[in-house]
Homo-oligomer: A and B are copies of this chain.
Amino acid sequence: MTSISTALSASLQTLQTLDTPTAVIDVPRMRHNIRRMQDRMNALGVRLRPHVKTSKCVEVARAQAAAGAVGITVSTLKEASRFFDDGVTDILYAVGMVASKLPAALALRRRGCDLKIVTDSVASAQAIVAFGAEYGETFDVWIEIDTDGHRSGIRPEDDALLEVARTLHEGGATLGGVMTHAGSSYDFDTPEALAAIAEQERAGCVLAAARLRDAGLPCPVVSVGSTPTALAATHLDGVTEVRAGVYVFFDLVMHNIGVCTTDELALSVLTTVIGHQPDKGWAIVDAGWMAMSRDRGTQKQKHDFGYGQVCRIDGSVVPGYVLSGANQEHGILSREGEPDRDIVTRFPIGTLLRILPNHACATGAQFPEYHAVEPTGDIAVWSRLHGW
């Protein structure tokens, strides 16, 4: 049996062999996050349909399915195709369908994919039923509900809800359900506010479903979700499934919102110190915005982490040190507040560090693959989907 200290040093040795910058997944943390969310959904009595837009990685989705997830949510039809190739059949494409994308959706269904699509307008609903009639395909369509005003969807009380539903139902599509995403949950950071937005998301989507059923229309699925609301909801009565994505890795934005600790952040960028500006207290690292992404999601939160939180190679946080600036391939590492006059000796050239990202979905997207590291030092290269 491997002792903890042996295992730790094994994974550190592995990290020291990697070219930088690279995206590293701490596999035990990822498994913990998957377990945490699945347990919570089980306790709340709903299915979990992970949003794979965060990882875009089949190995990650397999771990989610192994823990009990049912189906996946995708943000592009390329994701749908790739994950279907990997054996996932129950797929929700959660971006409003338009006529020009129907041929690709049809092709997936003809290959045997149980693809669900989404709409929030009569115009698109008409396009879907017309195309379905032309090609003899019964699309499974969910209506997108707007429960917080942040983006797309029909408000639960809006007459357009029934109009769209009837267009689909009478046009021969399968009316599969209603779905919503309270993205504005990212704007809150207290348990009370998060519980309130979770309840608003739940109640609005359940109301939309009730209106459809009261009108004699089918609505088997009631799908809600975002990582903060999934973790803050006190109950999910009337909901059948939850969608969430970023929980699989978590990130600094989620940490500021208050739904995870930094010890739960499973994605980091491994980087090398390549220079200094001692007078300014800067170390220059080879993780710039091309590695971290330009996402500054913590800028307006309670703790602005710049382009990321600095950690030692073992993943432990170096308190007060962040990437305060970024050019394409240069990151500027500095101490918050007073400059560190000992920066050169603290982080000599060649030092390997890990940077926790603001937003895991955005940082992951900068890399063609992840290095997934086990405590044993075993490492796997997991490919990540890029483009559309």
Q: Are A328 and B293 neighbours in the complex by a CB distance under 8 Å?
A: no
Contact between B75 and A151, CB atoms less than 8 A apart: no
Out of B22, B97, B329, B350, name the residue touching A53 (CB < 8 Å): B329
Note all chain B residues with C-beta closer than 8 A to A289: 295, 362
Q: A296-B294, A329-B76, A367-B387 are in contact. Are A275 and B152 (CB under 8 A)?
A: yes
Which of A36-44, A61-69, A120-128 binds B?
A: A120-128
Please give, as numbers and ranges, the residues of chain B lying within 8 Å of A152 by CB-CB distance.
274-275, 277, 284, 330
Contacting pair A19 B388 (CB below 8 A): yes
CA distance A365 to B292 in the complex (A): 12
A: number of interface residues (CB 8 Å): 60
Partner of A21, one of B120, B123, B146, B388: B388
Cβ of A131 to closest chain B Cβ, rounded Å: 12
Q: Which residue of B lies closest to A56 (CB)?
A: B290
**Whole-angstrom distance between the Cβ of A95 and the nearest chain B Cβ:** 5
Q: Please state the number of chain copies in the assembly.
A: 2
If the complex has contacts A275-B124, A284-B151, A350-B98, are A365 and B362 also in contact, measured as CB distance less than 8 A? Answer: no
Let me know if A121 and B276 touch, CB within 8 A: yes
Q: Establish whether residues A369 and B349, one from each chain, have CB atoms under 8 Å apart when the complex forms.
A: no
Q: Are B388 and A386 in contact (CB under 8 A)?
A: no
Q: Does the CB pair A349–B98 fall under 8 Å?
A: yes
Asked if A348 is at the interface (CB within 8 A of a chain B CB), the reply is yes
Name the residue among A274, A327, A362 with the largest chain B CB count within 10 angstroms.
A274
**Given A22-B388, A124-B349, A369-B387: A328 touches B53 (CB 8 Å cut-off):** yes
Q: Does A366 contact B (CB under 8 A)?
A: yes
Determine the residue in chain B with the shortest Cβ distance to A358: B294
Closest CB in chain B relative to A152 CB, distance in Å = 5
**Contact indicator B387/A368 (Cβ below 8 Å):** yes
Chain A 316-337 interface residues, beta-carbon cutoff 8 Å to B:
327-330, 332
In this complex, the member of A151, A272, A284, A295 whose beta carbon has the largest number of chain B beta carbons within 10 angstroms is A151
* A20 CA to B273 CA, complexed, in Å: 39
Question: Which chain B residues border A277 with CB–CB below 8 Å?
Answer: 146, 152
**Is A361 engaged at the interface, CB distance under 8 Å to the other chain?**
yes
Q: A201: CB under 8 A from chain B? A: no
Whether the Cβ atoms of B349 and A121 lie closer than 8 Å is yes
Cβ contact within 8 Å between A75 and B329: yes
Does residue A96 face the partner (Cβ distance < 8 Å to B)? yes
Tell me the chain A residues, 253-301 only, with Cβ under 8 Å from chain B: 272-277, 280, 284, 286, 289-291, 293-296
Q: In the A-B complex, list the 5 residue pairs whose CB atoms are closest, starting with the nearest.
A: A294-B294, A368-B387, A96-B274, A294-B295, A75-B329
A–B complex contacts, Cβ < 8 Å, 25 sampled = A19-B101, A19-B104, A19-B388, A20-B100, A20-B388, A95-B274, A95-B286, A97-B274, A98-B274, A98-B286, A98-B350, A121-B275, A124-B274, A124-B275, A127-B349, A151-B332, A152-B275, A290-B365, A294-B359, A294-B362, A296-B296, A365-B366, A368-B387, A369-B387, A386-B386
